[in-house]
Structure 1
Amino acid sequence: MNIAVCIKQTADTESRPTLAPDGSSVGEEGLVWIINPHDESAIEVAVRLRDEQGGTVTLLALGPDRVESALRQGLAIGADYAVHLQCDTMPHDPKIVAGALENLISTRDFDLVLTGEVAIDSAGAQVPQRLGILLNWPCVTGVEELKVTSDGLTARHPVEQGDEIHRCNLPAVVGINRRIGEPRYPSFRGIMKAKRKPIEKEVAALQIAQLQIASLALPASKSDGKILDYNDGVAEQVIALLREEAKVI
């Protein structure tokens, strides 16, 4: 079974972002870059399936040169191959991302495409569905349990009052939720092998973006909290603060 895993390099949520001078993008200085956690779990699922059933795991990543470090990390986890779809900046329009991935996937012989269900930076959760539509393949997202056989796949994902079980034929696109399981830590041997593995590079075929970011703003800084002494008038003080400072009543 030949499996593709689409990964995205995202900034660690512990990083402190700044705005770029244009006011419509995030400055990259000082950011720590990681594999999107849901995508990292998708790599783990793919490696397990490969180990059980044979085949290969190929990582696909779209973005600038820094994306190579994410691909190396995925190779260290256990992927066999990696393809870097090169572009100057990471597109924020999910339609553009899905289109670039589809252009590559449609030229390869993959039985299954895994992605994370959502990226922690944009939280759009659109790429798996858009990719399935473009490929004309079945798509299931939010998957927390996955079983794959030669006859197809069975996937479970939670809904408000229980679980849904989906069955479909291959090839298919599956969006993985990180709750499916924690990815393994790369071994020292895996890290060393990943450093030597070649990364295939292709120039990404990007459509004209229809979604534009007009401006970004950092959250307003919060003032220090206030500690009130307990006394007969504390309730009135709280009401006054909520009305005059917090302006919530």
Structure 2
Amino acid sequence: MKIAVCVNRVPDTETRVKIGADGKTIDKTGVNYILNPYDEFAVEEALKTKEKFGGEVIVISLGGSENVEVIRKALAMGADKGILLKDDSQRDTFSIAKALAEVLKEISPDIIFFGKQSIDYDDQAMPSLVAELLGLPSITVVVKLEISEDGTVIAEREIEGGREKVRSKLPIVIGAQRGLNEPRYPSLKGIMAAKSKPVEERPAPQFENKTEVIEMLLPPPKKPGRILGTDASAVPELVRLLREEAKVI
């Protein structure tokens, strides 16, 4: 079975984000970058699928030379080879999806894994958008996945207030959610082996952005808290402020 995993390089969740001098991007000075956490679930599920059915796992990432780092981590976990679609320009979701779809069409995998979203922009659109461009079914926010020998796919996905079970067929695009699995740690042997695994670098297919960042702003600072009282007599004033000032009730 041919299995593809698309991964992204994102700022560490502990990063204190600062806006760059251009006002449209973040200041990358001192920022630590990691493999997108949701993509780790995608890589793990790809490896489990390979262990069950055989085949190969191909890791794909679009970005600058630095993205090789996250590809190498996936290779250290057990993936077989990587493809870096090299491009340092600022791209929107549509342009990235189009480029990924072009390469995936060429590879023609049986199953394509994504993390359900990337923690930098959090738009949660990439798996469904790529699937639409490829004309494939997609199931996102997946927390349980079963694939049968005949290519039947049964997945459980999170929805508001519960879960729903979805049935489909290969080929398919899957968006992995936290809880789908427990990603393995790269072993020392895996880390050493990853250094010799092939990573193909090629120019990313170019497509026009559909959106443009006009300005990037930090959220306003939180207002200091207030103590209205220490007993039940403070409740009427609290309710009034929540209704008239905070406007949450």
Q: Which residue of 2 aligns with 1:56?
A: 56
| Distance in 1 (alpha carbons) for counterparts of 2:239 and 2:169 | 60
| Distance in 2 (alpha carbons) for counterparts of 1:105 and 1:174 | 14
**Which string of whole-angstrom CA distances, capped at 9 and with x for unpartnered residues, describes residues 20-68 of structure 1?**
1110111111111111111110000010111121000000001111111
Q: Which residue of 1 aligns with 2:114?
A: 115
Deviates more, 1:61-70 or 1:216-225: 216-225
| Distance in 1 (alpha carbons) for counterparts of 2:232 and 2:83 | 68
Contact between 1:137 and 1:172, CA under 8 Å: does it hold in 2?
yes
Specify the SS of the correspondent of 2:207.
coil
Which amino acid in structure 2 is aligned with residue 53 of structure 1? F
Q: Which residue of 2 aligns with 1:212?
A: 212
| Distance in 2 (alpha carbons) for counterparts of 1:10 and 1:167 | 32
Which amino acid in structure 2 is aligned with residue 38 of structure 1? Y
1:248 to 242, 246, 249: 246
Give the CA deviation at 1:90: 5.0
| Distance in 1 (alpha carbons) for counterparts of 2:112 and 2:165 | 19
| Distance in 1 (alpha carbons) for counterparts of 2:193 and 2:6 | 21
| Distance in 1 (alpha carbons) for counterparts of 2:238 and 2:141 | 42
Q: Which runs of 5+ in 1 are unaligned?
A: none
Contact between 1:64 and 1:90, CA under 8 Å: does it hold in 2?
no
With over 3 angstroms needed to count, the CA separation of the structure-2 counterparts of 1:188 and 1:208, relative to structure 1, is same
Give the CA deviation at 1:227: 6.2
TM-score, with length taken from structure 1: 0.89
Q: Which residue of 2 aligns with 1:140?
A: 139
| Identical residues among aligned pairs (%) | 33
Give the CA deviation at 1:206: 2.2
| Distance in 2 (alpha carbons) for counterparts of 1:166 and 1:26 | 39
Deviates more, 1:154-163 or 1:196-205: 154-163
With over 3 angstroms needed to count, the CA separation of the structure-2 counterparts of 1:65 and 1:90, relative to structure 1, is farther
Give the CA deviation at 1:220: 2.7
| Distance in 1 (alpha carbons) for counterparts of 2:86 and 2:223 | 43
Contact between 1:62 and 1:90, CA under 8 Å: does it hold in 2?
no
With over 3 angstroms needed to count, the CA separation of the structure-2 counterparts of 1:234 and 1:138, relative to structure 1, is closer
Q: Which residue of 2 aligns with 1:32?
A: 32
| Distance in 1 (alpha carbons) for counterparts of 2:88 and 2:191 | 27
Give the CA deviation at 1:225: 4.6
Q: Which runs of 4+ in 1 moved over 4 A?
A: 223-240
Give the CA deviation at 1:219: 2.3
TM-score, with length taken from structure 2: 0.89
Specify the SS of the correspondent of 1:218.
coil
Give the CA deviation at 1:186: 0.6
Specify the SS of the correspondent of 2:61.
strand
Q: Which residue of 2 aligns with 1:179?
A: 179
Contact between 1:63 and 1:90, CA under 8 Å: does it hold in 2?
no
Q: Which residue of 2 aligns with 1:106?
A: 105
Q: Which residue of 2 aligns with 1:169?
A: 169
Which amino acid in structure 2 is aligned with residue 120 of structure 1? I
Q: Which residue of 2 aligns with 1:190?
A: 190
Give the CA deviation at 1:160: 3.0
Q: What's the Cα RMSD here?
A: 2.3
Q: Which runs of 5+ in 2 are unaligned?
A: none
With over 3 angstroms needed to count, the CA separation of the structure-2 counterparts of 1:230 and 1:146, relative to structure 1, is closer
Specify the SS of the correspondent of 1:202.
strand
**Which string of whole-angstrom CA distances, capped at 9 and with x for unpartnered residues, describes residues 158-207 of structure 1?**
22343222121211111111221221111011111112222101110121
| Distance in 2 (alpha carbons) for counterparts of 1:147 and 1:10 | 29
| Distance in 2 (alpha carbons) for counterparts of 1:106 and 1:67 | 21
With over 3 angstroms needed to count, the CA separation of the structure-2 counterparts of 1:230 and 1:147, relative to structure 1, is closer
| Distance in 2 (alpha carbons) for counterparts of 1:205 and 1:49 | 29
